[in-house]
Structure 1
Amino acid sequence: MSQNKSKAPAKYQKWWGWGADGDKPYAVANKPKFPPFAMDKLGVDILAKDLTEPRLADIDVPASILGDELREQLLSTVGADNVRTDDEMRVVHSYGKGVRDLVRVRRGILGRVPDVVVYPGSGDEVQAVMEACLRADAVLIPYGGGSNIVAALEAEPGEQRVVVSVDMGRMNKVLEIDEQAEIALIQAGALGPDMEEQLNAKGWTLGHFPDSFMWSTVGGWIATRSTGSQSDKYGDIADITRGLEMVMPAAEGSEQRTQVLSLHPLPSYSSGPSVREMVLGSEGRLGIITQAWMQVHRIAEAREIQAYFYPNYDAGLKAAELIAHSDAKPMMLRVSDAAETEFSMANGKKSSTKSHYINKAMQKLMTAKGWNLEEICISFVGFEGSPVHVRYAKSVVNKIVRAQGGMNVGKGPGTLFDQKKYDIPYIRDFLLNMGIPADVSETATPWSRTKEIHDETVKAAEQAFAETGHKGFIMCHVSHSYHAGACQYFTFAVADGSEDNMATYDHVKRAVQQSFMEHGGTVSHHHGVGEEHSPWMEQDISPAGVHIQRKLFEGVDPGKNLNPGKIVHDGKPGISSNSADA
């Protein structure tokens, strides 16, 4: 066992789950409605088990095959404190945080563990690390916050070459703010909270808040084409990224093996096929992003999140469409279907006497309106800007909501949602402890097909649950809206704690993803492709589109040194080449 017990050079998550060691786990004790909800939907008594944290000492970690020559080159480049070969750091960097990742790592199924983790502190050091690795014919895998859930961080099984995980965590600064252009130069390894803290101190915000915000980075957002919860106002990462630098292989025949791509932060351009667009979503296959010019905004004077109820999901979808087409321009627009609304209500804390009576009064009002309480749907709409704009936007939204039969229930639920929006991964880990694999898949369609893809995907998942012989649950919400359409975000869980539960999970995952393809959706809206989603790429962008991507990757990286096997690979739909049962 390799040992290096010095303090890690960058923040990192625990090797077996979401969050850092010592993070407060999901607490079910003060959520009296959740245990009966889980029993009803999944047939599992979530109060019957206590988690015993897995021990790394119980897992057989393959030895590093890092050779002396490359080791010395890395040490001379970044310093001894920033080269790690100990078991913990290598295992931490082996996987992302998808449900398949966590099942495998908890069972000690480690696959191809990186041989070394390197923490560069500058663009020059990234270039020197890549230069040394290319000369040694090693594999480089960029690593940000480790939150990826589509198998984009792991080495291909059976890889015989040295695997180097390049952790960007030391490169975590906001370097410069151009206040006139409202853009900021930010290093790629900056985690969401650290970046926002630096920007906020000077009165700015990026406005990008994905669910993984606490454990994802600027470089990771760009590399996966991330979208944040406030994208209705701020746009997705493709809109926010104005320029960037990336270390990549040099052209064949060059004396140097690497070069730096530098894209200036311009408002627009007509420079042939967009190189910036090629880098966005490239998942480390073209190079390592080191810094980027990002659009920033002054912190808004006023901000609030209002909650609404609709009699059913159809009404909520129609309202969302009309709001997206209006000039309200909210910063966030979310509508949960009936299943997710029920989940949200079951996940609340024990009500005070006052709020209990408010809930009873609300239910009485809904019943008086003729609503079926099993079909009601909750929606959250966020407003930001000047007080005048917020008042106007709320008036526009309220009018649309009323026209669709909905009603406004104020800021209280919205405030609670805002406080708890990053808790879902902890709930996912808690369910996994109970033998319930839970995962998410998201897609985007035109408004004309949002209802279709929702209903058909739910139907496909429920059929898949039945075929596996295990109880399951699926829920959905509109998470991001555009003039032309919306992203719908599905969460599903299957009550199978057996050793074969990844085969069960795969059966459901395949049904969900294939439904996206059959009903006008995309393979992924903002989680990326990795290995998990690549088998559907030809259905998504056509064989010709996959051909273009293959030729791009082969042309830039003919030696397959940069995160090979991601985005395009030859695998079984729904089962990556690194599956526990592959």
Structure 2
Amino acid sequence: MSLLQQFPIQNQCSNSTSILDQRMSKNIESVIPKKRQDALKWYGWGYNDSMFYAKNNLICFRGDKYELNGSSLPYFTEWVFKTFNIKIENNLKLPNLPTVFPEPIINEQFLAEIKKCNFSYSIDGLDRLIRCHGQTLQDIYMLWNNEYKRIPDLIVWPTCHDNVKKIVDCAQNYNVVIIPFGGGTSVSGSVTCPQNEKRMICVVDTSQMNKMLWLNRKNLTVCFEAGIVGQDLEKELQKNGLTVGHEPDSYEFSTLGGWVATRASGMKKNIYGNIEDLLVKVTLVTPVGVLDKETSAPRISCGPDFNHIVLGSEGTLGVVTKVILKVRPLPPVKRYGSLVFPNFEDGIKFMREVAERRCQPASVRLMDNEQFILGQSLKEAKGWVGSFFDSVKKTYITRVKGLDLTQICAATLLFEGESEDVKRQETLIYEIAKKYNGFAAGGQNGERGYILTFVIAYIRDFALSNDIVAESFETSVPWDRCSTLCRNVKARIAFDCEKQKISHYLVSCRVTQTYDTGCCIYFYFAFRFSDIPNPVEITEQIENNARDEILACGGSISHHHGVGKLRSKWYKETVSETGIELYKAAKRKLDPKNIFAAGNLLTSNEWSQFKAKL
């Protein structure tokens, strides 16, 4: 008998539920209810009560969870007219939302097992349609035009790890397809059903698996179920004076399991790290068993790290059920800042030196001129006093500083930490900015720019109602290719727009996460499609050409959005033929019947060849 068996540690973490786990386990009210249509738009982005809309021929915004709530936006209205030559009218085009849904394919034996286990389930058409898509332009456009032919056949809501294990075992026994579904914020096509799948498709909606299972203050680790939404996770930790610090743009609605499955990144990764840096241990339920490590030690040397098989697996190997994360005490000081640079090149030089000297604040994001102007347009109309001060600022920038308003760009800053550390960091950051002709533009602008990230996502749906398609895509790139990649991708999109006779369009970019060797670049692309019959197809062509240009310039297929189905054509080029075979070997071992047949990572032809050999 070992000493540990003779003298057990009472707060030891194990795969079974210990007394401590039960005592500290806590149910958390989810931002996503079981009937998510009660709180969230099932046909677009975000909360039901939050949106851009038109009133008195002006663009307005409502949504009491955001500071922009109740705002009239004449500058944004003017920007839309100048950019897309569209006058805003109060009568918007409404989506042609479906009222009749595809009949479900039912595997009676599987459904009988689900009923026998008393799991909550639904075959309701709307419940199934809601979970047939993510948040790509193609997803929403197809939904608005009632074009989905293959949707899930059954929705099941597990409430714990053991529920998931039983569901997956049943699916393996009766050859039913499982697609894990978290927040539904995917922008890679990863949750859409393969259109040629003949088997019953069961979506495992993890949104009701949102408990905090335990918290260890001494080790600064916490265990959550994988279905918890980012903002719910953070609220619970902050009640305990802690934070995980992971804030992707989708933080309000995306889930912990989704972060792991896509190798997510957040706006504050400079301090807290990306999801792979925060992850201590992950539990994955596969058709052949549960993949789990016995230890939660900070680092072990025992062969390949199986966490990294789960990270980025995108629902093709199993269901993530539990995740142990690192946490940190809440920072005592949180301060925003902003900088203005004469041009994007100077801004990139600033970002490079900040990364080289490893003095990044919690968040530093550099916006190009187009994105800077867009952000400025999202301001409320002011009285004469506010307008006067805006005029003074403009005069200072153009006359005193001698800057060209068509070239300037801006960076938003967020500092977190101890008071003295923040002061030192601020001093250093502003000194580096000065070397590249940058100057401080105030904390209020920085805070506003940071928070606007969560509001901008709502623009896509409003744009679609006004015959404007909009999409985003991202990449990571070495520093010595950063400027070239930005220029070339913009030039390629401009060339394709001219070729397609698109006169009114926008392409902009920002440099977000920075590393020793490179950075993440995030692009926005939009165009008016009033006279174009196939806007989504044209958008995909232009984005694919842009992605080819990105790869030619040394960029990656994705920094944090993942591969899904949209970027699968470049996966082999990225990981090599040997890498593809290694992934297939893991798939064959963990999922020999291809139960997790979401169809991500590999192309449809590659999946057909793979399934033929099973």
Normalising by structure 1, we get a TM-score of 0.92
- Equivalent position of 2:313 in the other structure: 282
The reply to whether residue 222 of structure 1 matches residue 260 of structure 2 is yes
Match of 1:209 among 240, 243, 247: 247
Which residue number corresponds to residue 254 of structure 1?
Answer: none
CA contact (8 A) 2:231 2:251 kept: yes
1:527-578 deviation per Cα after TM superposition (whole angstroms, max 9, x unaligned): 1110001111123233332332233223322211103410111469xxxxxx
Pairing of 1:103-118 with structure 2 (within 5 A): 103-118=141-156
Q: Which residue of 2 aligns with 1:71?
A: 111
Which of these residues, 70, 84, 87, is aligned with residue 45 of structure 1?
Answer: 87
In the superposition, relative to structure 1, how do residues 413 and 43 fare at CA in structure 2: closer, same or farther (>3 Å)? same
Distance 1:21 1:364 in 2: 41
- Shift of residue 424 of structure 1? 1.8
Q: How far has the Cα of 1:196 moved from its partner?
A: 1.1
Match of 1:406 among 430, 434, 438: 438
Change (3 A) 1:354 1:386: farther
Structure 1 residues 477 and 78, CA gap change in structure 2 (3 angstroms): farther
Q: Which residue type is aligned with residue 384 of structure 2?
A: T
Secondary structure in 1 matching 2:426: helix
- Aligned ranges for residues 290-439 of structure 1 at < 5 Å? 290-367=321-398, 368-439=400-471
Match of 1:9 among 20, 25, 34: 34
- Taking only aligned residues, the RMSD between alpha carbons, in angstroms, comes to 1.9
Between the aligned partners of 2:127 and 2:337, the Cα distance in structure 1 is: 43
- Structure 2 alignment gaps of length 5 or more: 1-31, 61-71, 607-614
Other-structure match for 1:486: 519
Letter in 2 for 1:381: L
Displacement after TM superposition at 1:326 (Å) = 2.4
Other structure's SS at 1:140 match: strand
For 2:44, give the aligned amino acid.
G
Distance 1:106 1:337, change over 3 A: same
Matches within 5 A, 1:544-563: 544-563=578-597
1:565 maps to amino acid: G
In the aligned structure 2, how far is the partner of 1:44 from the partner of 1:200?
44
Instruction: Confirm whether residue 231 of structure 1 aligns to residue 231 of structure 2.
Output: no
Q: Could you say which residue in structure 1 is the equivalent of 2:601? A: 567
SS at match of 1:169: helix
Correspondences of 1:499-510 after superposition (within 5 Å): 499-510=533-544
* 2:73 alignment partner, SS class: coil
Report the Cα offset of residue 49 of structure 1.
4.2
CA spacing shift, 1:569–1:551, aligned 2, 3 Å = farther
| 1:47-84 C-alpha deviation (Å, 9 max, x unpaired) | 36424354442xx31111223321121122243xx101
Aligned-residue offset at 1:270? 1.9
Q: Which residue of 2 aligns with 1:4?
A: none
Alignment correspondent of 2:137? 99
Match of 2:472 in 1: 440
Q: Does the Cα contact within 8 Å between 1:517 and 1:540 map onto a contact in 2?
A: no
Would the aligned equivalents of 2:317 and 2:591 in 1 still touch at CA under 8 Å?
A: yes
Q: CA deviation at 1:118?
A: 0.4
Task: Tell me, in whole angstroms, the C-alpha distance in 2 between the residues paired with 1:190 and 1:527.
Answer: 19
What 5-or-longer segments of structure 1 have no aligned partner? Answer: 1-6, 251-257, 573-582
Q: How does 1:183-198 map to 2 (within 5 A)?
A: 183-198=221-236
Greater Cα offset, 135-144 or 491-500? 491-500
Identity of aligned residues (%): 25
Alpha-carbon distance in structure 1 between the residues aligned to 2:439 and 2:343: 12
Deviation of 1:294 (Å)? 0.6
Instruction: Pick closer, same or farther for the CA change 1:415–1:363 going to 2, 3 Å.
Output: same
Q: CA deviation at 1:46?
A: 3.4
Deviation at 1:24, TM superposition (A): 4.1
Between 1:201-210 and 1:410-419, the stretch displaced more is: 410-419
Q: Deviation at 1:103?
A: 0.4
Q: Of 31, 45, 48, which residue of structure 2 is paired with 1:21?
A: 48
Question: Aligned match of 1:132 in 170, 176, 181?
Answer: 170
Deviation at 1:155, TM superposition (A): 1.5
Looking at structure 2, the residues matched to 8 and 445 of structure 1 have their Cα atoms a distance apart, in angstroms, of 39
Question: How far apart, CA to CA, are the structure 1 residues paired with 2:468 and 2:104?
Answer: 33
SS of alignment partner, residue 360 of structure 2: coil
Which string of whole-angstrom CA distances, capped at 9 and with x for unpartnered residues, describes residues 204-224 of structure 1?
111011111111000000000
Task: Return the alpha-carbon distance in structure 1 between the equivalents of residues 35 and 246 of structure 2.
Answer: 22
Q: Which moved more, 1:351-360 or 1:478-487?
A: 351-360
- TM-superposed deviation, 1:43: 2.6
Equivalent residue of 1:21, what SS?
coil
Q: Which string of whole-angstrom CA distances, capped at 9 and with x for unpartnered residues, describes residues 311-368 of structure 1? A: 0000111111111222533100100011111111122222343443332222222222
> Can you list the C-alpha shifts for 1:205-251, whole angstroms capped at 9, x where unaligned?
1101111111100000000011011111111111111101110121x
Secondary structure of the equivalent of 1:459? Answer: helix
